[in-house]
Amino acid sequence: MTNPTDNPVGTITAIATTTAIATVTAIATVTAIADIARDEARLAWQRYQALYALLQSRNQETSTSDDRRLLDSVTVLGAEIAAILAVGVNTGIRKVTLAIEANERLPKTARLLRDGLLSDRAFCSIVLQCSAVTDADLIAAIDAEIAQSLREHGAISTSIADDTARRYVAEYDADGLRDKRRANTPGVTVANDVDQSTLTIATSPEDIALIDKANRARALQVCAHDSRTLGKRRADAFVATQLGTEFDCDCGRPDCAAKASAEQVDAQFARIVVHVIADAATLRGTSDKAAYLDGFGPIDAHHAREIADRPGTLVRTLDLAGLADRTAQAADPYRPTAACATAVRGLHGTCAVAGCSRPAWSCDLDHVTEYNHDAPAAGGATCPCNLQPKCRLHHLLKTFADGWLDDQITDADGTVWTETTTPSGYTVRARARNHWLLPELGLIPCRHGEPTAPGASDPTDQPERSRTRTEAKQAYRMRLRAQRRYRLACTAAANARAASLASDGEPPF
Ligand SMILES: [Zn+2]
Ligand SMILES: [Zn+2]
Ligand SMILES: [Zn+2]
């Protein structure tokens, strides 16, 4: 490095080098964190293998089948492991049971642990979703489907793992799920803690979704001066609804802006909607393809038909074939048509950022490449290829925080992929959560060109920021997206070549 005192230009060089080192350290550190998570998954796999081997050797030592004995081999081994790890006996038995699941019922899915692709927590969640499936052939088929789907998915959150298992159980064992649903005993339980009590209601996911939305809407009917947290307001609103008392803003101001009339409250509650996306064939009863309940996840075909038959349910047809010609509203091309918004929310299911499971209908729809209000044709299109749901936090991070870059890519097969690059430069890639539900959406032709000059994110949302700075940021993001896509195309081509040499079910990137 040049000595700054010898050469004035050297000062700049030194600063640039320092910045570059800082960036390299950050990416190395977050990569190490990601690697540790993969190692944890591998360790969980090793623990399951060791436990299973031990269990098998114990079973061989015991000559007779001991299924009916109180102290069977699972209990004895579970108690031993519990003592060794200083945990309760039930926890020890649970670890042994999971080892059996990983080796006998879900071996293909468990191999994702070995490969560092799935967290132990996500695996446990899959085990729970599959617990009611007893038929050996069915569980084998479901295991194979879950493993293949998740292996190709990219970043897998617990919620994605949950949804994937739920979907295949719904499709392979719809009758079993219906029987289980009918056998469920909805109820209300009360638990008393030291200084407060908890009330739990167990009922159908669609009723809970409706109650949750109604409660959330009521809790938001306060002015900006209300002193309570959202959680406290939700509890207060729920109690008031149950007791038939008023739920009011607590500001005590005579000019409180939250004084809504009874008609306004009624009008708001009439708009509380829970969305289900289902194939027309599923609703007709000619297909057992699963459907998707916003805020819950995949539901079986019987369940979708039961919801469609409920009084008050409105069934609307989503015309995907005609969508290409009307993705944006004619009067305001910044806004997607209702059909386009529904399709995009259905495809992603939740906020599109990896790991986030905020329901899509509670999210904003974001133009990935920014819309240009002054020259719409030059900006990011109002089209499914360029729209995705983002929760308020992730929308704010993208818009205002430095270093966040998002992208959405539709590959040659019509699969939609989302990418999030964090401020450290780490990129997380994942398939759109509900690609299985709307596989046609990515194949709809685009009626727009490539963006050449994306606009500001939304000038009204960021009053204190200078337009020049925002414009510079958008232009920079465009360059980064283009560079990333070029690198991805090269990697994909290299992978395709490698795959033709040795195909081993690797992810397509
Ligand atoms: Zn108020
Ligand atoms: Zn989010
Ligand atoms: Zn498009």
pLDDT surpasses 50 at 23: yes
Comparing CA positions, the residue from 41, 43, 131, 132 lying closest to residue 94 is 131
Residues in the chain: 509
Dist CA 427 CA 487 (whole Å): 13
CA 414 to chain centroid: 20
pLDDT surpasses 80 at 242: yes
pLDDT surpasses 90 at 20: no
- Report the chain's C-alpha Rg in angstroms: 27
What pLDDT, on a 0 to 100 scale, did the predictor assign at position 459? 42
According to DSSP, the β-strands at 197-202 and 291-293 are unpaired
What pLDDT, on a 0 to 100 scale, did the predictor assign at position 89? 96
All residues at 6 or more sequence positions from 113 whose CB lies less than 8 Å from its CB, including other chains: 41, 42, 44, 45, 48, 102, 120, 123
What pLDDT, on a 0 to 100 scale, did the predictor assign at position 57? 92
pLDDT surpasses 60 at 4: no
pLDDT surpasses 70 at 470: no
Ligand 3: distance of its center to the CA of 224 in Å? 39
Residues 483-498, mean pLDDT to the nearest whole number: 66
According to DSSP, the β-strands at 405-410 and 276-277 are unpaired
Q: How many helices and strands, by DSSP H and E, does the chain display?
A: 16, 10
Question: What angle do helix axes 158-172 and 120-129 make, rounded to 10 degrees?
Answer: 20
Ligand 1: distance of its center to the CA of 189 in Å? 34
pLDDT surpasses 70 at 463: no
pLDDT surpasses 60 at 508: no
Dist CA 77 CA 73 (whole Å): 6
pLDDT surpasses 60 at 339: yes
CA angle 60, 61, 63 (to 5 degrees): 80
Confidence at 500, pLDDT banded by 50, 70, 90 = low
CA 79 to chain centroid: 37
Q: Name the range with the highest mean pLDDT among 22-26, 85-89, 260-264.
A: 85-89
What pLDDT, on a 0 to 100 scale, did the predictor assign at position 400? 86
Q: Which two tokens stand for residue 37?
A: 């998570």
What are the DSSP calls for 372-440, one per residue? -SS-GGGS--SSGGGEEEE-HHHHHHHHHSTT-EEEEEE-TTS-EEEEEE-TTS-EEEEE-TTTTT-TT
Ligand 1: distance of its center to the CA of 236 in Å? 15
**Which residue bears the tokens 């699969």?**
415
Ligand showing the shortest atom-to-Cα distance for residue 249? 1
Q: Which two tokens stand for residue 323?
A: 């969508």
What pLDDT, on a 0 to 100 scale, did the predictor assign at position 70? 64
Dist CA 417 CA 13 (whole Å): 38
Ligand 1: distance of its center to the CA of 208 in Å? 28
- Residues, Cβ < 5 Å to ion ligand 1: 223, 225, 249, 251, 256, 258
Burial of 322 (0-12, 13-18, 19+ CB in 10 A): exposed
427 — phi, psi (to 5°)? -110, 130
pLDDT tens track for 267-324? 777 678 899 999 999 999 999 999 999 999 999 999 999 999 999 899 999 988 899 9
pLDDT surpasses 60 at 504: no
Confidence at 12, pLDDT banded by 50, 70, 90 = very low
Helix or strand holding residue 366 (H, E): strand 364-367
All residues at 6 or more sequence positions from 340 whose CB lies less than 8 Å from its CB, including other chains: 323, 326, 327, 328, 382, 383, 384, 387
Ligand 2: distance of its center to the CA of 360 in Å? 9
Ligand 2: distance of its center to the CA of 350 in Å? 8
Ligand 1: distance of its center to the CA of 252 in Å? 6
What pLDDT, on a 0 to 100 scale, did the predictor assign at position 67? 56
CA 468 to chain centroid: 34
Dist CA 24 CA 328 (whole Å): 42
Ligand 2: distance of its center to the CA of 33 in Å? 21
Confidence at 474, pLDDT banded by 50, 70, 90 = low
Residues 449-456, mean pLDDT to the nearest whole number: 82
Helix or strand holding residue 497 (H, E): helix 467-501
All residues at 6 or more sequence positions from 456 whose CB lies less than 8 Å from its CB, including other chains: 370, 373, 462, 467, 470, 471, 474
Ligand 2: distance of its center to the CA of 104 in Å? 36
Residues 476-484, mean pLDDT to the nearest whole number: 67
- Residues, Cβ < 5 Å to ion ligand 3: 381, 383, 385, 446
On whether the CB atoms of residues 454 and 474 are closer than 8 A, the answer is: yes
Ligand 2: distance of its center to the CA of 394 in Å? 5
All residues at 6 or more sequence positions from 27 whose CB lies less than 8 Å from its CB, including other chains: 424, 425, 426
What pLDDT, on a 0 to 100 scale, did the predictor assign at position 375? 87
More confident position, 269 or 152: 152
pLDDT surpasses 90 at 497: no
On whether the CB atoms of residues 108 and 147 are closer than 8 A, the answer is: yes
Ligand showing the shortest atom-to-Cα distance for residue 449? 3
What region, left, alpha or beta, does residue 378 occupy, with left being phi > 0 and alpha being psi -120 to 50 degrees?
A: alpha
What pLDDT, on a 0 to 100 scale, did the predictor assign at position 466? 43
Question: What angle do helix axes 158-172 and 136-151 make, rounded to 10 degrees?
Answer: 140
Least confident window among 261-265, 372-376, 378-382: 261-265
Ligand 3: distance of its center to the CA of 322 in Å? 14
Helix or strand holding residue 44 (H, E): helix 8-61
More confident position, 179 or 266: 179
Ligand 3: distance of its center to the CA of 484 in Å? 19
All residues at 6 or more sequence positions from 60 whose CB lies less than 8 Å from its CB, including other chains: none
Dist CA 215 CA 209 (whole Å): 10
Mean pLDDT of the residues in the chain: 86
- Whether the model clears a pTM of 0.85, i.e. scores above it, the answer is no
pLDDT tens track for 96-137? 999 999 999 999 999 999 999 999 999 999 999 999 999 999
